[in-house]
Structure 1
Amino acid sequence: MIKNIIFDFGDVFINLDKGIIFREMEKFGGSIDLTPEMIALNGIYEVGGISSEEFIAQLQSQYPKASAIEIENIWNSMLLDFPEERLEFIENLAKEGEYRLFLLSNTNDLHITHVAQKMGSDRYERFQKPFEKFYLSHEINLRKPNAEIYQFVLDENGLKAEETFFIDDTKENTDAAEKLGITCWNIQVGKEDIVQLKSKL
C-alpha cells in the first residue's frame, strides 16, 4: 500500500526546454552537444560543490564570447511555464491527506532562484506548502540517480521503500529508485501529465 509520494520538479511540474542552452550557446562558439566537461561541471554545481559565480566563470572560460549575464540568462532560459492545473493538483492532493508528499529535485541555486522570481513569492510558497519536505540537490549535496539520495529521503523521514511511490521524467532516476524497492512512474513528457497520477497509483 502506497503511503508516500516523492515528486521530481522539472518536466513534472514546471515545463523545461533542456535543449535551448546548447542552441543558444552555439551562438557563442559552444557545442550543440552535451560535452563531458559540461556534464561534470553541472554535476558538481547541482550538489553545491561550487558557487554560482564559480559556475558562471567556468562556463565563461569555455565560451569567452559570452558575458556573465548572457550565460546566466541562457542557463535560466530552459525554465518555462508552471501550469496552474498542476499547482492546483498538488494542493488538492495535500488537502486530501492520504499521502505524505515530498519533492526531490536535481537543481541548482541559479535555477531555483529564477523559478521563485518567475513564479512570484505567493505562488512559489503555494507550491512549497503541500510538501512535507522540499529536497533540492544543491542543498543536500546529493543528486539523482545515486542511490544515496533516495536512501537519505527514506531514512530521514522513516519511510519504507515498499510504501513509497516516485515520479521522475528521467528513466535513469526511476531505475535507480526501483532497485531500492520503490515503486516508480517514469513520466513520459508530452504524453503524460502529473495530474493523471491517481490512475498510476
Structure 2
Amino acid sequence: MTKTIIFDFGNVFINLDIEGAIKHTFNSFKIDALSEEMTAFNSFYEQGLISTKEFIEFYVENFPNISKEEIIDIWNFMLKDFPKHRLEFLKQLKATSKYKLILLSNTNELHIDSIKKTIPFYDEFKNYFDAFYLSHEINLRKPNKDIFDFVLTENKLIANECLFIDDNEDNCKTSKFLGIKTWHINPKTEDITNLFKLKSELFN
C-alpha cells in the first residue's frame, strides 16, 4: 500500500519549457551544443557544489559579450507558469492526511529565487509537504541512486510503500530499480491533478 508520495517540481507542478530553453540557450550563446565543461558546471551548480557567483562568472568568462543579467535571463528562460489548480490539488491532498508528501527536485538557487519572485504562493506550496528537498541544498541530484537512498533513510521509508512522480525517464528508472512505484508523467498529455483517476492502481 502506498503511504508516501514523492513529487518532482518542474513539469509536475510548475510548467517548464525545456526544449525552448535549449534552443534559446544555443541561439544566445551562438553554439550548437553544450560543451562538456558547461554540462559539468551546470551539474555542479544543481548540486550546490559551486555558488551562484561562481556559476555566473564561469559563463561571463566564456561568453564575454553577454552580460550577467542576460545570463540569468537565459538560465531562467525554462521557468513558466504554476497553474493554481495544482496548488489546490496539493492542498486537498494534504488535508486528507492519507499520505506523507515529499518534494524532490533537481534545481538551483537562481531558479528558486526566480520562482519566489514570480509565484506568490511558493511558501504556501512548500508548507504542504512533510519534507522538501532541493538538489542544491542537499548536494545530491537525480537520477543518482544516492539521492533516493537519502530520502528513504531520512524519512524511514519502505521503498515499495512509496510512489515517485517525475517527468524525467532516467529519474524514474532509478526509482523503479530501488523498488519504488513510479509514474513517469507526460506533461504534454497528463496533469498531476488527475493522479487518482489515471494511476489508481499505484495505490493498492
Common topology (TM > 0.5): yes
Counterpart of 2:125 (choices 127, 137, 144) is 127
Within-5 A mapping of 1:6-17? 6-17=6-17
Within-5 A mapping of 1:145-160? 145-160=143-158
Within-5 A mapping of 1:12-161? 12-120=12-120, 123-161=121-159
Provide the C-alpha distance between the structure 2 equivalents of 1:181 and 1:59, rounded to a whole number of angstroms.
39
CA contact (8 A) 2:12 2:167 kept: yes
**How many angstroms does 1:34 deviate by?**
3.5
CA contact (8 A) 1:4 1:165 kept: yes
Matching residue's letter, 1:71? I
Matching residue's letter, 1:192? E
**How many angstroms does 1:169 deviate by?**
0.3
Is the counterpart of residue 183 in structure 1 residue 181 in structure 2?
yes
**How many angstroms does 1:196 deviate by?**
1.2
Counterpart of 1:163 (choices 154, 161, 164) is 161
Instruction: Give the stretch that moved more between structures: 127-136 or 23-32.
Output: 23-32
Matching residue's letter, 2:113? T
Q: CA RMSD in A?
A: 1.3
CA contact (8 A) 2:163 2:180 kept: yes
Instruction: Give the stretch that moved more between structures: 29-38 or 142-151.
Output: 29-38
How many equivalent residue pairs?
199
Provide the C-alpha distance between the structure 2 equivalents of 1:68 and 1:21, rounded to a whole number of angstroms.
17
**How many angstroms does 1:23 deviate by?**
2.9
**How many angstroms does 1:32 deviate by?**
4.3
Give me the TM-score of the superposition, normalised by structure 1: 0.94
**In the TM superposition, what whole-angstrom CA distance separates every residue of 1:89-140 from its partner, at most 9, and x where no partner exists?**
01110001110000000000000111011112xx111101110011000000
CA contact (8 A) 2:102 2:129 kept: yes
**In the TM superposition, what whole-angstrom CA distance separates every residue of 1:53-83 from its partner, at most 9, and x where no partner exists?**
1101111222221000110011112100000
Give me the TM-score of the superposition, normalised by structure 2: 0.93
Q: Which runs of 5+ in 1 are unaligned?
A: none
**How many angstroms does 1:28 deviate by?**
3.9
Provide the C-alpha distance between the structure 2 equivalents of 1:104 and 1:131, rounded to a whole number of angstroms.
10
Provide the C-alpha distance between the structure 2 equivalents of 1:32 and 1:110, rounded to a whole number of angstroms.
24
Provide the C-alpha distance between the structure 1 equivalents of 2:56 and 2:49, rounded to a whole number of angstroms.
13
CA contact (8 A) 2:26 2:33 kept: no
Matching residue's letter, 2:88? E
CA contact (8 A) 1:29 1:65 kept: no
Matching residue's letter, 1:164? C
**How many angstroms does 1:27 deviate by?**
4.2
Q: CA separation of 1:106/1:142 partners in 2, compared to 1, >3 Å: closer, same or farther? A: same
Q: CA separation of 1:20/1:56 partners in 2, compared to 1, >3 Å: closer, same or farther? A: farther
